[in-house]
A and B are shown apart, each in its own frame.
Chain A
Amino acid sequence: MTATAAPATSAITAPAPSPSDNQPPLRRRRNPSLHGTLSKVIIALIVIVQVYPLAWLFITSLRTELDFATGDPFALPKAITFDNYARAFETGNLGMNILNSFIVTMGANLLIVLLGMMAAYAIQVLGFRFSRFVRGLFLIGIIVPVQIALVPLFIDYAAINLLDTYPSMIIPLAGFALPMSIYLFCSFFEYIPRETYEAASLDGAGPYRIFGLITLPLSVNTVVTVVLVNSIFIWNDFIFANTFVLSEELKTIPLGLQNYIGAMGKTDWTATFAAVCITITPLLLVFLVLNKAMIQGLESGGTKG
């Protein structure tokens, strides 16, 4: 994890305030603070672009309908109302949608972690003749677009009566996330010293006990990484849910939100935004509480490539 290097580099990369005398004067030395100020302004601007729309979404969910329809979108609301939230709960099945998203996210994560760990264990620790080939087969999945599976899975599900069920969403979500999970576990297992396994083997532990007693407990950090990163994508999955789920009782959050778009083209926007605020809260809370772990996970996922 390279993030730990942060405090050390900041001292070096920051503009040096003391110009040395025997060096030719360089442009950056003449005005050392200009660059710093400029970068702060650029960063601030980009952060506003990234965050303001979300703040606006929240502010709008507290506006009255009239205020929204006639007022200046940048202004603060004239009066704060929670009616939108009441209407959001009346219109849809938000509670049920959140529960469904929760079930799908849990189910898929369980498969991703457990099966990912097992495959990585077989490939990296146990080893077998075609392990490189199998590893490559899995890794190809990282770049395969999910759209390829929509038509075949739709046909297959229809044939075995799996359309419109939780597994119809969980199977492809887990299957397409598995390669990245295997990859991360493989990279982690490389760091466990061989001696650990050899010592356990000499004590008579077989592959199952070593998996349960050594590999599993050591992998907790990687499990957290894999779960956090995948949860973002699974919680928000639209394409599989939209293709395979029809009944109201199984709709996840992304599908539930669509119910707020009025059939006649007239949409209750303030209530819709209230619904959006409610549905993003669970993941947002997890993200804000665990953002350090999540950020580290995302960083390591990319840089180990």
Chain B
Amino acid sequence: MLPNRSRLSVLVFLLPPLLLYGAAVLFPIMQSLFLSFFSWNGISDMEFVGLANYVRMLTGDDIFWRSFFNALGYLAICLVLQLGGALLVASLLTSMRRGRELIKTLYLLPAVISTVAIAFLFARIYSIEPAGLLNQLLHWIGLGFLERPWLSDINTVLAAVSAPEGWRFTGLYMLIIYAALLSVPQELEEAARLDGASRWQLFTKIRFPHIMPVWITTMIMATTYGLRGFDIPYLMTNGGPGQSSELLTTYMYKTAFTSTDFGYASTIAVFIVVECLVAVGLILFMLKRKADA
């Protein structure tokens, strides 16, 4: 604590950020919670319905559950591409002598592109008429029977809208994991090497445990970002065809701004927040159990 500070000076510094944060984040959370107990279309009078929205969501809404499981699938694909890809490249990169900076830059490039541009780009990559990059590539390598309109095939659409999101941020997580890998003490690695540890042992016994805290951070980041994913599915398919690529976020958005059912949309929004908190809690819980064991 500074000796010469006054109570007033603390307020002067703290109040403006608290006001912005309150107006943009805290107050809206309270408002959503409040609205989730009402039925309201924005025009007529608000009607208190108690837990009816929650009951409807959890027991009577097939689209909600469909979106929930789609969102889990979307999350799984994003996590594998982002964290798996990031860990693979970061590990390989530490053994390279030259060109690391260039590769880091190139790898991060997609993160700079807006989601709208990415949605356009991937719409053409998946297209079948004229043949997009993916279908053309499959044709060339003799897998022509797999060619399909990826975005209108209900079996592939969810993977097709998830992959761009995974692709976009792999570089970001790679950077973070790479920085962590560089901080693994060299003496440890060298000692293990002298004892005859294989590459795989070196990785599982020394490197990975050492980067565990950073791995948890990236996992929390990737999970919460994955659960709030919205732009690319909304722009590419708007949840379709049918509900095959509907996520909780797109469903909530449409409920709010297409059906103007503000009460029910708020209920779904509250669920999304709870889902994020539970996910983070689960990750930390698993970490703690592992540390205790």
- Are B20 and A171 interface neighbours, CB within 8 A? yes
Chain B 8-39, CB-CB to A under 8 Å as 1, else 0, gives: 01101110111011011111110110010000
- Are B262 and A13 interface neighbours, CB within 8 A? no
Asked if A57 lies at the interface with its beta carbon under 8 angstroms from chain B, I say yes
- Are A2 and B182 interface neighbours, CB within 8 A? yes
- Are B180 and A46 interface neighbours, CB within 8 A? no
User: Which B residues are in CB contact (< 8 Å) with A152?
Assistant: 27-28, 31-32, 35, 266
- Are A174 and B108 interface neighbours, CB within 8 A? no
Main SS at interface, chain A: helix
User: Which B residues are in CB contact (< 8 Å) with A73?
Assistant: 124, 130-133, 136
- Are B179 and A148 interface neighbours, CB within 8 A? no
- Are B120 and A276 interface neighbours, CB within 8 A? yes
User: Which A residues are in CB contact (< 8 Å) with B122?
Assistant: 53
- Are B190 and A12 interface neighbours, CB within 8 A? yes
**A187–B292 Cα gap in the complex (Å)?**
28
State which of B107, B198, B217 has its C-beta within 8 Å of the C-beta of A305: B217
User: Which A residues are in CB contact (< 8 Å) with B16?
Assistant: 115, 118
- Are B180 and A201 interface neighbours, CB within 8 A? no
**A16–B125 Cα gap in the complex (Å)?**
42
Most chain B CB inside 10 Å of its own CB: which residue of A126, A155, A284, A305: A126
Asked if A243 lies at the interface with its beta carbon under 8 angstroms from chain B, I say yes
- Smallest Cβ-Cβ distance to B270: which chain A residue: A148
- Smallest Cβ-Cβ distance to A50: which chain B residue: B107
Asked if B176 lies at the interface with its beta carbon under 8 angstroms from chain A, I say yes
**A150–B234 Cα gap in the complex (Å)?**
15
CB distance from A8 to the nearest CB of B (A): 7
Main SS at interface, chain B: helix
CB distance from A145 to the nearest CB of B (A): 4
- Are B136 and A116 interface neighbours, CB within 8 A? no
CB distance from A266 to the nearest CB of B (A): 13
Chain A 6-50, CB-CB to B under 8 Å as 1, else 0, gives: 101110111100000001101110000001100110110011011
Asked if B282 lies at the interface with its beta carbon under 8 angstroms from chain A, I say no
- Are A13 and B280 interface neighbours, CB within 8 A? no
- Are B179 and A273 interface neighbours, CB within 8 A? no
State which of B1, B111, B116, B217 has its C-beta within 8 Å of the C-beta of A258: B116
State which of B256, B270, B277 has its C-beta within 8 Å of the C-beta of A150: B256
User: Which A residues are in CB contact (< 8 Å) with B183?
Assistant: 2, 5, 303
User: Which B residues are in CB contact (< 8 Å) with A40?
Assistant: 96
- Are B4 and A232 interface neighbours, CB within 8 A? no
User: Which A residues are in CB contact (< 8 Å) with B3?
Assistant: 198, 201
* Contacts A174-B24, A283-B112; A122 near B132 (Cβ below 8 A): no
Asked if B269 lies at the interface with its beta carbon under 8 angstroms from chain A, I say yes
- Are B6 and A207 interface neighbours, CB within 8 A? yes
State which of B93, B124, B136 has its C-beta within 8 Å of the C-beta of A72: B136
- Are A149 and B24 interface neighbours, CB within 8 A? yes
- Are A119 and B14 interface neighbours, CB within 8 A? yes
Question: Could you show 5 A-B contacts with beta carbons less than 8 Å apart?
Answer: A8-B186, A128-B10, A153-B24, A178-B24, A254-B114
Q: Could you list which residues of chain A lie within 8 angstroms of chain B, going by C-beta atoms?
A: 2-3, 5-6, 8-10, 12-15, 23-24, 26-28, 35-36, 39-40, 42-43, 46-47, 49-51, 53-54, 56-57, 60, 68-74, 111, 115-116, 118-119, 121-123, 125-128, 134, 137-138, 141-156, 171-172, 174-176, 178-179, 182, 197-198, 201, 205-208, 210-211, 232, 235-236, 238-239, 243, 253-255, 257-258, 269, 272-273, 276, 279-280, 283-284, 287-288, 291-292, 294-295, 298-303, 305
The 10 A-B pairs of least Cβ separation, nearest first, read: A175-B24, A302-B176, A305-B217, A145-B228, A152-B31, A236-B114, A152-B28, A127-B1, A119-B17, A299-B179
Given A151-B35, A269-B124, 14 other A-B residues pairs in contact with their CB atoms under 8 A: A43-B93, A46-B107, A121-B13, A127-B2, A143-B224, A147-B269, A148-B272, A152-B32, A178-B25, A238-B235, A257-B116, A257-B117, A291-B108, A303-B183
